[in-house]
Amino acid sequence: MLTVHVARDNKEEILKLSLGATALDAAKKLSITSPSESLFCLINKKASDLATSLQENDHIEFISFSDPRGKEVFWHTSAHVLAQAVLRLFPNAKPTIGPAIDEGFYYDFADLTISDEDFSKIEEEALRIIESNLQPKKHSLSKEEALFKFPNNPYKAELIEGIASLGEALTGYSQGEFFDLCRGPHLAFLGKIKAFKILKTSGAYWRGDAKKEMLTRIYGISFPTKQELKDYLHMVEEAKKRDHKILGPRLNLFMLREEAPGIPFILPKGMIVWNRLLDFWREKHRQYNYTEIKTPSMMTKSLWEVSGHWQNYRANMFTSVIEEREFAIKPMNCPGGMLYYKSTGHSYREFPLRVGEIGHVHRYEASGALSGLFRVRSFHQDDAHIFMQREQIQDVMKETLALADELYSVFGLSYTLVLSTKPEANTIGSDEDWEIATKALKQALETTGRKFTIAEGDGAFYGPKIDFRIHDALGRAWQCGTIQLDMALPERFQLEYTAQDGSKKRPVMIHRALLGSIERFFGSLIEYFAGKFPLWISPSQIAIVPVADRHVPYANTIRDKFFNMGFEVLVDDSNESVSKKIREAQINLYNYILTVGDKEVEAKNISVRTRDNVVHGEMDVEVFAATILKEREEKMLASPLTAPKTADVH
């Protein structure tokens, strides 16, 4: 018999198998073989196919479609299916590369011209391949064997020569008549793919180089169930309505210009949201006893060498030479925080010492990777560095997770947690410190009672981390907050504190950014609320529509009252019709639209409706004021007014 250890739900299960059993045999014994389960596995933390034979005391973790790593393998296998289908239909096409991406996959082909009209026949051929339930098989090849597999394909030859020159092993996968270079792993059977869709086609330069050949790129997506594909396509349509790159400029929130690629302009209404968001952040951090600092944006090369960024992050940094000295614009706030700590002596009595900063950082991102507010070159982080004694780690981690939960819950945001462990290379700090830090984060997560996943090797170069993946109304996930436990930077900067016995000791430090990039969080909120911000953070709170010119003075009186209460108020005294002014206010997503005419002027009240065109009718001004004050102070997600009817606006 063979004994193996299986990780399930962050616990370990011992399994007895026959000698020679594979990971697939273990999955079958555990009854985890549905299309979304056991897509591949980690055997002793190494990504492996399910066909891999097991050895005594192997540790196995099965990866499902719910895990981003599972999606990557599912979609990369699907990219091979796409390439196989294309070559069956267009045998003169030359396959190049086909990776998984954040949502689905693509494959690039030379000598191929297609249009949208070809999508259906490619899908039909892909489904025939899937229905045959072929089993992808891994092969090891010599350089000569690999080149023989791809005659007259200079793109594959270039890849093969590059891999061979690095001394790396050449491997590939076959499924039926199709063969492609690939490290793997892959799905055990193509039949796990139950839904397959071609999304679009575009041009793409070979290896992203505009000086090289233009290829034809085909994008696709696949799922373990047809319902998931249906839900995804519905989500795509809904997402178009929420796209922050469209809504942001239209609502006067932000803009992007070629004069500053990847660096957003925050516009007047965007600044209202921005400032309210930061006011809320400061309010919560004051409650948790944080102090706030601001560190310089540009510091000398020597500082970044001490921190390790120069060696590990140089390619992403903007640099300059001033008076024959090298400087870098900060890509992270950490080194400045270290200098602040070192500026004075510290005692254990101060710990935990919580130091926050809304730090403006710059990172070089390739132009092709830039995307609205989600991927930029200049952004603000709600950073903090918490200094403590080792025995305080658990309490501080629990406190930080609680603060994050409070921040997200105000917006109605749900989230999942991911623990990322030590990368394989280019890290700082001892193995012992990494082990202590990783164990501390895992234990803190376990105390929350929330489920979490583990991303092996995805930690920062200086320590393990916990990432928050925010989920929106459409089920999409955004990487926002992160918590990182770091024992290396305090060592590099020789930070000290005076312990209770009078000795000098090294503090432990947590880096954390809970909103993450303020720009990305802002973009996420735009899409999450589809621009319809809750009243407390809305940049367009009240629009007042006078029926005729004679009602404008009363409208301005109402405007002054609410403006003096701190609300954002507009009086639309244009010459347009009432219905058009109401429609304009709704298009611009004002929370409340107040109409004033003869009746309202005489009764000294207002007629109220919301941006969703729900009419609440005549209301006493003071009653309405008290209602929206409560709505703002309690940070309600929706109007507390009941909805008697919905009106038509023509």
* Percent of the chain with pLDDT strictly greater than 90: 77
We report the CATH number of the domain holding residue 609 as 3.40.50.800
The CATH number given to whatever domain includes residue 43 is 3.10.20.30
Nearest CA to 48 out of 66, 34, 61 is that of 61
Helices of type H across 243-267: 244-250
- For residue 553, being part of any structural domain is answered with yes
Taking CA atoms, 85 is separated from 90, 151, 406, in Å, by 8, 19, 49
Which of 48-52, 166-170, 601-605 bottoms out in mean pLDDT, i.e. has the lowest? 166-170
pLDDT in tens, 506-519: 999 999 999 999 99
**183: which DSSP letter?**
-
Whether the per-residue pLDDT at 650 is higher than 50: the answer is no
| Calpha distance 71→66 (Å, rounded) | 7
What are 171's two structure tokens? Answer: 């491997």
Give the model confidence (pLDDT) of 413-438 as tens digits.
888 899 999 888 877 777 887 888 88
Query: Which percentage of the chain shows pLDDT scores above 70?
Result: 98
Number of alpha carbons in the 13 Å side-chain half-sphere of residue 276 = 24
Which DSSP category does 371 fall into? B
Q: Which two tokens stand for residue 387?
A: 């200094």
The answer, as to whether pTM is greater than 0.85, is: no
pLDDT in tens, 597-613: 999 999 999 999 999 98
Per the structure, how many domains does the chain have? 4
**Separation CA 167–CA 156 (nearest Å):** 17
Does residue 475 lie in a domain region? yes
646 pLDDT above the threshold of 60: no
Q: What is the pLDDT of residue 643?
A: 55
What's the whole-number mean pLDDT along residues 266-278?
97
Report the length, in residues, of the chain. 650
Distances in whole angstroms, Cα of residue 514 to Cα of each of 43, 402, 479, 487, 527: 33, 11, 10, 20, 19
pLDDT band at 649 (very low <50, low <70, confident <90, very high): very low
Which of these is catalytic: 84, 217, 330, 381?
Answer: 381
Identify the residue whose tokens are 């219905």. Answer: 579
pLDDT tens for residues 392-412? Answer: 988 898 899 999 999 999 999
Q: Which H or E run contains 626?
A: helix 621-633
CB neighbour list of residue 422: distance below 8 Å, 6 or more residues apart: 434, 438, 457, 459, 464
363 catalytic per annotation: yes
Which tokens go with 95? 């396959």
Phi-psi region of 300 (alpha: psi -120 to 50; beta: other; left: phi over 0): beta
Q: Which of 611, 434, 435 is nearest to 539 (CA)?
A: 611
Q: Mark whether 385 is an active-site residue.
A: yes
- Selecting among 80, 511, 532, 616, the annotated active-site residue is 511
573 noted as active-site residue? no
Asked whether residue 193 carries a pLDDT value surpassing 50, the answer given is: yes
The answer on 509 and 591 residing in a single domain is no
In a shared domain, residues 114 and 24: no
Same domain, 522 and 550: no
Last residue of one domain, picked from the residues 42, 64, 86: 64
State CA 310 to chain mean position distance.
26
Residues 103 and 42 in one domain: no
Query: Catalytic site residue 382?
Result: no
Mean pLDDT of 531-544: 97
- Is a pLDDT exceeding 90 seen at residue 215? yes
Mean pLDDT of the chain: 92
Q: Is position 147 within any domain?
A: yes
Task: Give yes or no: residues 109 and 196 share one domain.
Answer: yes
Pair 375, 510 in one domain: yes
Q: Please pick, among 242, 244, 385, 632, the residue that the annotation labels catalytic.
A: 385
Same domain, 235 and 288: no
Q: Does residue 549 carry a catalytic annotation?
A: no
220 domain-assigned: yes
Residue 10 has pLDDT above 80, yes or no: no
Q: Within this chain, do residues 439 and 513 fall inside the same structural domain, yes or no?
A: yes
Is 616 known to be catalytic?
no
Same domain (yes/no): 210, 353: no
Confidence of residue 175 (pLDDT cuts 50, 70, 90): very high
User: What's the domain range around 21?
Assistant: 2-64
Residue-wise pLDDT tens digits, 80-138: 999 999 999 999 999 999 999 988 999 999 999 999 999 999 999 999 999 999 999 99
CATH number, domain at 225?
3.30.980.10
Catalytic residue chosen out of the listed positions 334, 382, 551, 609:
334
319 in a domain, yes or no?
no
pLDDT tens per residue across span 448-496: 888 888 888 888 777 888 999 888 666 677 778 899 888 788 989 999 9
Q: Annotated catalytic residue: which of 49, 58, 382, 383?
A: 383
Which of 57, 12, 63 has its CA nearest to residue 38?
63
Name 600's Cβ contacts closer than 8 Å, sequence gap at least 6.
Answer: 551, 554, 606, 607, 618
CA of residue 376 relative to chain centroid, distance: 13
My answer on whether 47 and 103 are in the same domain is no
Q: At CA 257, angle to CA 252 and CA 263, rounded to 5?
A: 90
Domain boundary among 36, 64, 92: 64
> Would residue 542 count as lying in a domain?
yes
Q: What is the CATH number of the domain that holds 503?
A: 3.30.930.10
Residues 47 and 135 in one domain: no
Average pLDDT (136-160) is 95
User: Rounded distance, CA 319 to CA 317, Å?
Assistant: 6
Flag whether 266 is in a domain. Answer: no
User: Is 182 among the catalytic positions?
Assistant: no
Whether 275 shows a pLDDT value over 80: the answer reads: yes
Q: Which of 533, 411, 545, 429 is nearest to 468 (CA)?
A: 411
- Residue 2 in contact with residue 54, Cβ under 8 Å? yes
pLDDT at 75: 97
Kindly name the residue from 71, 285, 354, 363 that is annotated as catalytic: 363
Neighbour-count burial for 148-172, b at 16+ CB within 10 Å, e otherwise = ebbeebebbeebbeebbeeeeebeb
Domain-embedded: residue 444: yes
Q: Which of 64, 87, 114 is the last residue of a domain?
A: 64
Instruction: Let me know whether 588 and 462 are in one domain.
Output: no
Of all helices (H) and strands (E), which one includes residue 110? Answer: strand 104-110
Q: Could you tell me the two tokens for 431?
A: 């193995």
Q: Which of 277-291, 327-341, 466-480, 573-587 has the lowest mean pLDDT?
A: 466-480
* Residue 430: predicted pLDDT: 78
